[in-house]
Chain A
Amino acid sequence: MAELSRREMLIGTAVGGGAITLMLAGPVVGFLLSPLFTKRRTETAVIGPIDSVPVNTPTPFIARLNEGDGWNIGPIPRVVYVVKYQQVVGPGQPPPTLLVFSNTCTHMQCDVHWDGTFVGAGDPVLNGRFICPCHGGLYLMNGTNIYGPPPSPLPQWVHEVFTGEDGKTYVRIQNDFTEKI
């Protein structure tokens, strides 16, 4: 075997060491990043009937939704707040809008809950608050973030409304929000 020069030896060792590092790092980093390239499963769940939900009164339903990421671990309970929101109550007004909220706070994603005891100054939308127990964020019944750290309104579930075989109204929700939070 021919004599190696100091220069050849150092270059050879550096190239070899670099190759070893790359062969380890490539698969490992790819493995680490793989959730970014893995397609989410679309999962749905049905809640309802929602016919008896009163106007301007957020009403919680529990949807049992499968996780969309990773292996299936069975349905996970999720809260769906159904709100029939009517800005001005009275005869001759447009019909209520159906809002289908998640109870996920847009600040740190804690579970908010509806507290109807606040009374607004005559305006129905000011009655009651969604309260986040973690850092004190408050939302109105139409999802507007009005106080505390939440940076954006309460998210809605991706959903479709349909009439069941019993003639009542149901909502099918999907494991995604309409807004990015």
Chain B
Amino acid sequence: MVEATKVKLRPLYQWLDDRMGISALMNSALHEAVPEQGGWAYTLGSATLILIALQIVTGIFLTMMYVPSFHESYQSLHYLQTNDLFGAWVRGMHLWGSYTLMLVIGLHMIRTFMTASYKRPRELNWVSGALLFFVVLGLAITGAMLPGDQAAYWTMTVVTNIPHYIPFIGDYIRWLWRGGKFIGPITFTRTYGIHIWLLPPMLLGLIGLHLYLLRRHGEFGAWVNYDTEGPDPDREIAARIAKVEPPYPSRDVDPKFAAPNRTVDFFPNQVFKDTLVSLLLVAVVFVMALLMGAPLDGPANPATLTYVPTPEWFYLPLDQLLVLGPQTWLIAFVVFVIPGITATLFILLPFIDRSPERNPLRRAHIIVPGLFVIFMMVTLSVLGINRLYNL
């Protein structure tokens, strides 16, 4: 009797495969060579992708309750937090997802920076990734402006005021973002539009480019993946290039770095590690969302005499720069010139660090300035925490 009810899946799959080419698609998506050594460090990119997907999913569901308006933003979220059975959990996942995403993107960048994976021919992998990072920062700050509580209202005030220090056109940009002189109804609809409709398509487009370039050039890995063992490195490298599988050998590069010394198949080796790390991170988000949730202060009060606004932790370095730069032209200097130069150098890194050398110990002229930037950000954060929380 059991046989009679058994659905024959194989013919059904065959029918679909003939029409859609599923097997061919899966083969090209899953089977390609990746460096054997260091696979755990190369899981950070896919973890970023999974966390962005988590943000999109939770964000889509939050739009089903949230109202982008001066008063109703708070009311709708207060209702979501207190009356909706799972609302606080979903909102918590969106917040902790963003925090985790920020950390993982940071680690992914540090990994790529240390191993110089951005070198020829992978310059645009780095540039697209750097632009992705700025889009994510934009999403994080517009997201922090929307809840309509005190924290969000003052974030909105400060962030929309920053463009005012751009010479000549700054006042117009502030006015346009706010839709008027003060924070008002249009500020909410515009910021919401930027957060859910303007930035996410840019994010998706850049992710597409980033992944396409990754698949075109192959995962670089690290300098250890290109070591030679025998007495005749040239012959070893030539043999390596002769027998390597696609997407290697990389084009337009020093032969030493054209193909890794040992590769494994992306599926199942790397996929397994990627899945395990993503599972761990999503589980952290899931649990933190349940235990900590996302805070919601009292409703926005433009007439407060007691509230002390504090920025999100990932903006603390910039906020502390604001404290340290008194007077008008210095404000523009610390808000635009210092971060602007840093961001430009950051995006253009592959065109600055052009030697074939990949080992961080032999790239001190690049690694030391990079560590200095990280050190400054940590120092500014510590100063900011000390100032805001009186430790």
Chain A interfacial positions (CB closer than 8 Å to B)? 32-33, 35-36, 40, 60, 62, 67-71, 73-74, 76-79, 103, 107-111, 113, 133-136, 148-152, 175-176
Task: Name the residue of chain A whose CB is nearest to the CB of B72.
Answer: A73
**Are B323 and A73 in contact, with the CB atoms below 8 A?**
no
Q: Indicate whether B328 reaches chain A with its CB closer than 8 angstroms.
A: yes
10 closest A-B pairs by CB: A69-B180, A77-B303, A151-B328, A70-B185, A113-B305, A133-B308, A70-B186, A108-B158, A67-B184, A149-B326
Chain B, 289-308, CB within 8 A of any chain A CB: 301-308
Task: Name the residue of chain A whose CB is nearest to the CB of B176.
Answer: A35
Task: Name the residue of chain A whose CB is nearest to the CB of B303.
Answer: A77
Which B residues are CB-close (under 8 A) to A151? 327-328, 331
Q: Indicate whether B131 reaches chain A with its CB closer than 8 angstroms.
A: no
A35-B186 contact in complex given A79-B303, A111-B302, A111-B307, C-beta closer than 8 Å: yes
Minimum C-beta distance from A171 to chain B (A): 16
**Are B176 and A32 in contact, with the CB atoms below 8 A?**
yes
Which A residues are CB-close (under 8 A) to B182? 67-69, 76, 175
Q: What are 7 A-B residue pairs whose CB atoms fall within 8 Å in the complex?
A: A33-B176, A67-B70, A68-B180, A70-B184, A103-B305, A133-B308, A134-B154
Which A residues are CB-close (under 8 A) to B235? none
A74→B169 CA distance, assembly (Å): 30
**Are A108 and B327 in contact, with the CB atoms below 8 A?**
no
Which B residues are CB-close (under 8 A) to A176? 181
Chain B interfacial positions (CB closer than 8 Å to A)? 69-71, 154, 157-158, 161-162, 172, 175-176, 178-182, 184-186, 301-309, 319, 322-323, 325-328, 331, 387
A149-B185 contact in complex given A73-B69, A110-B154, C-beta closer than 8 Å: no
Count of chain A to chain B residue pairs whose CB atoms are closer than 8 Å in the complex: 102
A38→B325 CA distance, assembly (Å): 35
Minimum C-beta distance from B309 to chain A (A): 6
A33→B186 CA distance, assembly (Å): 12
**Are A108 and B328 in contact, with the CB atoms below 8 A?**
no
User: Besides A35-B180, A69-B179, A149-B323, 19 other CB < 8 A contacts?
Assistant: A33-B176, A67-B180, A69-B178, A69-B186, A70-B179, A73-B69, A73-B71, A73-B184, A76-B70, A76-B182, A76-B302, A77-B301, A78-B302, A78-B303, A110-B157, A133-B309, A136-B323, A150-B326, A175-B182
Q: Is the interface of A mostly helix, strand, loop or mixed?
A: loop
* Of B184, B307, B328, the contact of A133 (CB 8 Å cutoff): B307
Task: Name the residue of chain B whose CB is nearest to the CB of A81.
Answer: B305
Minimum C-beta distance from A80 to chain B (A): 9
A71→B186 CA distance, assembly (Å): 8
A108-B180 contact in complex given A71-B185, A133-B309, A151-B327, C-beta closer than 8 Å: no
A62-B303 contact in complex given A110-B158, A136-B387, A149-B331, C-beta closer than 8 Å: yes
* Of A108, A150, A152, the contact of B161 (CB 8 Å cutoff): A108
A133→B158 CA distance, assembly (Å): 12
Best-surrounded residue of B71, B301, B303, B331 (most CB of chain A within 10 A): B303
Which B residues are CB-close (under 8 A) to A35? 175-176, 178-180, 186
A50→B97 CA distance, assembly (Å): 51
* Of A36, A74, A135, A152, the contact of B175 (CB 8 Å cutoff): A36
